[in-house]
A and B are shown apart, each in its own frame.
Chain A
Amino acid sequence: MINQKVRPWLPWLMVLPAFSIMLFVVILPIFNTVFKSFHNTSGELTLENYTYFFGSAEAFQSLIFTAIVALAVMILSVVLSFLLALYLRFSKSWISRLLGKLYLLPRFIPGIAAVYAVMNVIKDSGTINRVSMSLGVDFKPGLLYDIKGIILCNLWFSIPFAAMMMSAALSAVNDSYIESARDVGSSWGSILTKIILPLTYKDIIVSATFVLMGQIGAFTIPYLTGPNNPKMLGILLYQQAATYMDYERAAALSVLIFLLCLGGAIVYIRANMRDEVWERGK
Chain B
Amino acid sequence: MKRLYYGLGKKQFWEYLLFIVFMLFFYGPLLNMVLLSFAGKYEYPDVIPQSYGLKWWDYVLSKAQLVQSISTSLILAIVVTLVSLIVCLPAAYALARFQFKGRSLVRLSFLLTNAFPKMGIYTAMTVIFYKLDLVGTFAGVVLVHLVNTMMFMVWIPSGSFRTVHIQQEESARDVGASPLRTFFSITLPMAKPGIIVAALYTFLGSMEEAQGSLLIGLPAIHTMPSELYGIIMSFPETAGSVFAIILLVPSIILLIIFRKYLSAEALSNGMKM
Contact = CB atoms under 8 A, between A and B. Distances in A.
Contact of A30 (B124, B144, B244, B247): B124
Interface residues of B, number: 89
Contact of A26 (B113, B166, B254, B273): B113
Contacts of A220: 210-211
Contacts, number: 269
Nearest to A98: B19
- Interface size on A, as a range, is 35 or more
A226 interface: no
Interface string A89-123: 00101011011001111111111111011111100
A108 B128 contact: no
Interface string B1-19: 0000000000000011011
A230 interface: no
B228 A134 contact: no
B72 to A, nearest CB: 15
A131 B32 CA distance: 12
Interface string A127-167: 10111011000000000000000000000100010011101
Contacts of A111: 208
Given A11-B94, A168-B265, A129 B45 contact: yes
A257 B104 CA distance: 24
A28 B106 CA distance: 15
A278 interface: no
A59 interface: no
B47 A168 contact: no
A277 interface: no
17 contacts: A1-B99, A2-B98, A10-B98, A30-B113, A30-B120, A30-B121, A95-B18, A95-B19, A110-B251, A120-B29, A120-B241, A121-B32, A129-B45, A168-B264, A217-B117, A241-B123, A258-B117
Interface of B: 15-16, 18-19, 22-23, 25-30, 32-33, 36, 44-47, 86-88, 90-91, 93-95, 97-100, 102-103, 106, 109-121, 123-125, 127-128, 143-144, 146-147, 150, 154, 166, 200, 204, 207-208, 210-211, 225, 228-229, 232, 237, 240-241, 244-245, 247-248, 251-252, 254-255, 262, 264-265, 267-269, 271-273
Given A14-B93, A27-B109, 7 more contacts: A15-B95, A21-B87, A114-B29, A117-B30, A117-B33, A117-B241, A254-B117
Those 9 A-B pairs whose CB atoms lie nearest each other, nearest first: A254-B120, A217-B117, A110-B208, A29-B124, A18-B91, A117-B29, A11-B98, A261-B115, A14-B90
